[in-house]
Amino acid sequence: MSHQAKVVEVVEASDGALAVRARCCDDESTESVLTVYQLARTNEEIDAEVAEHLARVAGQHADRERAKAHIARLMA
pLDDT in tens, 16-66: 999 999 999 999 999 999 999 999 999 999 999 999 999 999 999 999 999
Taking the C-alpha atoms of residue 18 and residue 66, their distance in angstroms, rounded to an integer, is: 32
Q: What is the domain count for the chain?
A: 1
Average pLDDT of span 4-21: 97
pLDDT score of 11 = 98
What is the reported pTM?
0.91
Q: Which residue spans within 1-76 are E strands per DSSP? A: 5-14, 17-24, 27-36
pLDDT above 90: residue 1: no
pLDDT score of 75 = 83
pLDDT above 80: residue 8: yes
Quote the domain boundaries for residue 48: 5-75
